[in-house]
Structure 1
Amino acid sequence: MAPHFPVNKFSTNGQEPSDYDRQAVMITNQIGMEEKSQQLDEDFAVVEPKDEECAVERLHHLTKIVTEFQDHLRERASNQLGHPGNHNCSHYLALSTLLQYNINNVGDPFKESNYGLHTKKFEVSVLDWFAQLWGIDKDEYWGYVTNGGTEGNLHGILMGRELLPNGILYTSQESHYSMLKIARMYRMDCETIASLATGEMDCNDLQDKLLMNKDRPAIINVTIGTTFKGAVDDLDLVVQTLIDSGFSDNQFYIHCDAAMSGLVVPFLKQVTKFTFKKPIGSVSISGHKFLGCPMPCGVLLTRRKYIKLISRNIEYIATCDSTIAGSRNGHSPIFMWYVLNIKGWKGLKQDVEKCLKNARYLRHHLKKAGISSMLNETSVTVVFERPQDSEFIRHWQLQCLGSMAHVVVMPHVTIEMLDRFLYDLIRKRNIWHGTLHPPCLAEDMGICNCACPVHARKHMN
């Protein structure tokens, strides 16, 4: 008999372990595995009820599957460390009665439509809150609640492209993957800018590439919380680089991708302020990451004077089409409104302080254990050497890139969870490496963060 991982019927391949510490389960033969897989397919099939009695049985069966799935989600959330989502969502149960309504915020959030079941008043209140956070007056901004950060990026870059049709998109190699996708979708020329070891955009490389293309406008993506290292691009330095390269105000457009840290850096005193008082054209912020909405959503803010470039009146819906999506989720604005009212500025600031403290706790103990690791000063993302066991990575749901992995310390991540992770990592790391030295990660995260024997000795000296 060959050892095999327990079947998890909620994973895409049916074999993701639901409990890392109960992997030693034996499955006797391949035929049994095939029979089990076939049964799982039948469990998830959409079946047309044949009569009333069968429909009742089917309802009981569906309830059983959903209940088991809820147990699966609860267990997976208890080990969710690698993805930037806040899983403290229980307070949203108070809004569950709204699921009985088909709510659609079709069209412009500031204009009525002929569809009466919408939450546009809640949406505008959410937008007003974010506009205040980002320093732009009510009569100067336009925005909407999106389906997530990528949609916000799509809209922001579209604004830049419409204002500067011949513009080149400049984005760092640490940018979210949506940026290159957007360049392809909009058929834009794109320059990828090198990044520093911290993950921040290298403005020397930006200047070199701007000077190579001085005859064309620049559309710059500034990342506030890079996907993997949580780095924050230096907005002031980007603006100064544009000026030094000979680009006037009407020759560049800046979009801020703040999906990750758009609700972190505004609460930090030591950080250069990101605000519409500076020459930015748009910002995209996620609502399901730090804020913890239970569905993908976000906010796009731009300057009101720009929206006329893409807004079109649509007669049969009796409103303006000014968003990337036509029909839009009407539930997410009220979920965002609800949590902002519960937490407020004070509550969000406390969440930021707690996450920063816990991230520093994790980084301290990784360093103490001799594990290469890094943490940017304004970040809640702790980067460290990649674990050597794919099942360990899957259990803790880590994101990996090359020789690195990371933990994103969201509000649901407790010290107890981090202690369990550290114990598991340090114990298993001794097995993975044995007498071998851990890898050198100086090139990936900087010499000062590398704990390989060569660089560790240099730190001691």
Structure 2
Amino acid sequence: MTPPFEQLLDRLTTASYTSIGFPCAVDIDYRPLAPLLGVLLNNVGDPWTDGIHPMHAKGIERDVLGYFAELFRAPPGWTGYVTSGGTEGNHYGLWLGRTRLPNAIAYHSDAAHYSVAKAEHLLGLPGITVATLPTGEINYADLQRQASRWRSRPAIVTANIGTTMTEAVDDVHRIHEALDEAGVTHRYVHSDAALAGVPLALTADRPAFDLADGADSISISGHKFFGTPLICGVALARRGPSDTPAAIRYIGAPDASISGSRTGLGVVMLAHALDILGTAGLSDRTHRARDIATYTCRRLHHIGWPHWRNPGAFTVMLREPPDAVRTRWRLPSTDGWSHLICMPGVTTRQIDDFVEELSTAVPVQS
């Protein structure tokens, strides 16, 4: 009888070729880190204090955080940590916002990741959903209208830096302008940059989204652009909680994180990717992924299949294919549209195979 883990590996290996609807890079080899599977790496508590527990990788975590702080132009006094993923990063950012503005109203667009509304609920923040433009970008006029109704209350706004469906990017400068026009003086902006944060930071004509652009906090996912086989992420903030926690005697370190015990292995994986690629390698991956997205649009145009793409996005929107094609290629769909995501590691062969299958399907109704 085949062991369960081998059955799982067989299934995942088979599924990986046609799994182009979800954002996970597949071009970085993390197998050299396999010896670390024999030890526990728990970066418990604050990354800036090693603490009593010796089985950690906090020194490496500090280096990783320093890299992303420079990439996202963090000011002096910044803080952050390696999280369990984008959901925790969003929770952390909104928690910092509520800590500073306890009477705030939270605003997020209807294209926001589902974790945003969940974090607002867990934090007891009244949440208001803002409309989006056809591209998926937040509707700044609607944000102004909604916020003006509550101008006496502070605002906590989540900016989407690469929405889940269309990879639309909200402009942090325009969010601040909308709040100014609404008469909201006190505000906090969190950038949910789970997918697009790193690629955009490596782009010459980058939009306004990071800590130098007016975001108070930012979070990314490690398992998307970096394709880490362990779910993780990074959260950074201009400054930490106003009431810095005291050291916890049991662990010998303070803890201002959401999760407490945190992955040391994920830290090492991120460090491994940064070490072997560097900024130049990450930039090259970004350009190659965008080239594949451009190639995808050309192939879809060739067969006459309706499609569109936000500027610079890895994500290509296409009119929803027949169920058999959509299911086989794992394409999420909404309102008659599906998407595929040309993450680093997706090849022209995969795109060709997908388009060939699509071209023999039932013709789409324009």
2:224 paired with 1:286 = no
Give the Cα separation in 2 of the matches to 1:269 and 1:330.
Answer: 32
Pairing 1:142–2:79 present: yes
Separation in structure 2 between the aligned mates of residue 191 and residue 142 of structure 1, nearest angstrom? 28
Give the structure 1 partner of residue 352 of structure 2: 419
Question: How far apart are residue 308 of structure 1 and its match?
Answer: 3.8
Secondary structure of the equivalent of 2:237? Answer: strand
Equivalence map 1:25-424=2 (5 Å): 61=1, 64-89=3-28, 91-137=29-75, 139-248=76-185, 251-304=186-239, 306-309=240-243, 311-389=245-323, 391-424=324-357
Specify whether residues 310 and 150 from structure 1 end up closer, same or farther in structure 2 by C-alpha distance, changes over 3 A only.
farther
**CA deviation map 1:126-160 (0-9, x unaligned):** 100000001124x4210100010000000000000
Amino acid at match of 1:373: H
Question: Whole-Å Cα distance in 1 between the matches of residues 22 and 346 of structure 2?
Answer: 11
CA apart distance, 1:71: 2.5
The DSSP-based 3-state class of the residue aligned with 1:327 is: coil
CA distance in structure 1 between the partners assigned to 2:156 and 2:295 by the alignment? 38
Higher deviation after alignment, 400-409 or 366-375: 366-375
* Conservation of the 8 A alpha-carbon contact between 1:85 and 1:290: yes
Ranges in structure 2 where 5+ consecutive residues have no aligned partner: none
CA contact (8 A) 1:366 1:373 kept: yes
Q: TM-score normalized by structure 1? A: 0.77
Q: Helix, strand or coil for the counterpart of 1:253?
A: strand
CA contact (8 A) 1:149 1:297 kept: yes
Between Structure 1 and Structure 2, whose CA radius of gyration is higher? Answer: 1
**2:352 aligned partner, one-letter code:** D
SS in 1 for 2:190: strand
2:211 and 2:218 in contact (8 A); partners too: no
Conservation of the 8 A alpha-carbon contact between 2:22 and 2:340: yes
Q: CA RMSD of the aligned region, Å? A: 1.5
2-side partners of 1:312 and 1:255: how far apart? 26
Contact 1:171–1:190 (CA under 8 A) maintained in structure 2: yes
| TM superposition score normalised by structure 2 | 0.96
Instruction: State how many pairs are aligned.
Output: 366
How much has 1:341 moved relative to structure 2?
Answer: 0.6
Q: Report deviation, 1:312.
A: 4.3
CA contact (8 A) 1:312 1:322 kept: no
CA distance in 1, matches of 2:246, 2:119: 22
| TM superposition shift of 1:330 | 1.3
Say which structure, 1 or 2, has more relative contact order (CA 8 Å, 6+ apart). Answer: 2
Taking the aligned partners of 1:175 and 1:203, their CA distance within structure 2 comes to 14
C-alpha contact (below 8 Å) 2:113/2:164 kept by paired residues: yes
Alpha-carbon shift at residue 87 of structure 1 (Å)? 2.0
SS of the residue corresponding to residue 66 of structure 2 reads helix
CA distance in 1, matches of 2:104, 2:247: 27
